[in-house]
Chains A and B, each alone.
Chain A
C-alpha cells in the first residue's frame, strides 16, 4: 500500500525566509507525487506534481519540489516566504495504475508565516 509521511504538523518561518516542508513516500511501484495547498474552509489547490519526467518540479506561487528516489522524498520548498503562503499543505501519492485520481494524502503541515 502506498503512503506518505509529512514530518512536522506545523512549520513556522519569518516572511522572506526559506520554506521547507518535508514529505517521504512509500510505494512499491514508481509513484506519482503531488503537493496541494488548502486555505481555511476551502478545498485543495494543486501546487505541483511529479510524474517521472524532471525530478525537480516547479509549481505555482514560486514553490518547487525535488523527487529523490534514494531518499524516497519529495520535499516542498520556496526561497522566500510570503504572508499569503500561510495555509495547510498536503503531500499526496498515487500509483500508475490509478493515475492522478485516487490519491492518498499525508496528514498535512500547517505553515505559519510571521512578519
Chain B
C-alpha cells in the first residue's frame, strides 16, 4: 500500500534556530501534500497545502514566512520552521494522496518538535 514517510520523527532545537521536516511519498507521486499541526490533546489543524512546482497555499492565521514550504518534486515536500520559538513546539504531520481524484489521504507518522 501507499506509504508516506516523515523525517525526523522528533527533533529538539534551540530558540532562534530553524528546523526542516521532510515528507516523502514512497511509492506514488503526489502533486499535493498537506501539512497539519497538532497541539497536545487537540485536533489536527491544517496549516497549508503544498503544491508541486508552485507556491504553497496557507490557511488563515498561518505565517508563511515562518513556516516555509517547498514542494520541489512529486515525492517530497519540506516544512521549515524558521527562527523557532518555544510556542512552535508541537506535533507536525504531513499527508499526501495519489494524484487521482478522490484518492484517500495517507499520513506520515508525524514529527514532534520541541524548542528549548
Contacts and interface: CB of A to CB of B under 8 A. Distances in A.
B42 A102 contact: no
Contacts of A42: 109-110
Interface stretch (B14-22, B82-90, B99-107): B99-107
A43 B104 contact: no
Contacts of B78: none
- Interface size class on chain A is 20 to 34
B43 interface: yes
A43 B34 CA distance: 13
B100 to A, nearest CB: 10
Interface in B20-60: 32, 34, 41-46, 49
A106 B43 contact: yes
A12 interface: no
Nearest to A88: B41
A99 B32 CA distance: 13
Interface extent on B, as a size class? Answer: 20 to 34
A107 B41 CA distance: 8
Contacts of A108: 41-43
Given A41-B112, A44-B93, A90-B43, A101 B107 contact: no
B77 interface: no
Dominant secondary structure at the A interface: loop
Contact of A46 (B10, B42, B44, B104): B104
A42 B6 CA distance: 10
Interface in A37-77: 41-46, 49, 51
B75 interface: no
Contacts of B97: 100-101
A25 interface: no
A46 B43 contact: no
A102 B45 CA distance: 11
Interface string A81-115: 00000000010000000011111111110000000
Question: Lowest 9 CB-CB distances: which A-B pairs, in order?
Answer: A43-B107, A44-B107, A105-B43, A43-B109, A107-B43, A99-B102, A105-B44, A42-B109, A43-B108
